[in-house]
């Protein structure tokens, strides 16, 4: 029984680690999206001015 409990405990910890990694990746993606949006906006504004 204790082997099963430790297995569940490890699985829960692993799930938490994976969730944290996904959250970090989502934050990075959001930052990259903001940078890309700014670059596209600048490009479009330059094209309008030309």
Give pLDDT, residue 11. 93
Give pLDDT, residue 23. 98
Whole-prediction pTM: 0.69
Question: Does 15 reside within a domain?
Answer: no
What is the domain extent for residue 36? 24-50
Question: Does 14 reside within a domain?
Answer: no
pLDDT tens digits, 1-50: 778 888 899 999 999 999 999 999 999 999 999 999 999 999 999 999 98
Give me the torsion for CA of 24, 25, 26, 31, rounded to 10°. 90
Could you give the CA distance from residue 24 to residue 27 in angstroms, rounded to a whole number?
5
For 28, the enclosing helix (H) or strand (E) is: helix 2-49
Burial (0-12, 13-18, 19+ Cβ within 10 Å), 24:
exposed
Give pLDDT, residue 31. 98
Question: Does 11 reside within a domain?
Answer: no
Question: Does 35 reside within a domain?
Answer: yes
Could you give the CA distance from residue 7 to residue 43 in angstroms, rounded to a whole number?
53
Give pLDDT, residue 39. 98
Question: Does 37 reside within a domain?
Answer: yes
């Amino acid at each position: 029984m204790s082997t099963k409990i430790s297995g569940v405990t490890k699985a829960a910890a692993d799930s938490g680690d994976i969730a944290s990694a996904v959250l970090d990746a989502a934050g990075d993606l959001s930052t990259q999206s903001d940078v890309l949006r700014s670059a596209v906006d600048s490009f479009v504004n330059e094209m309008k001015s030309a």
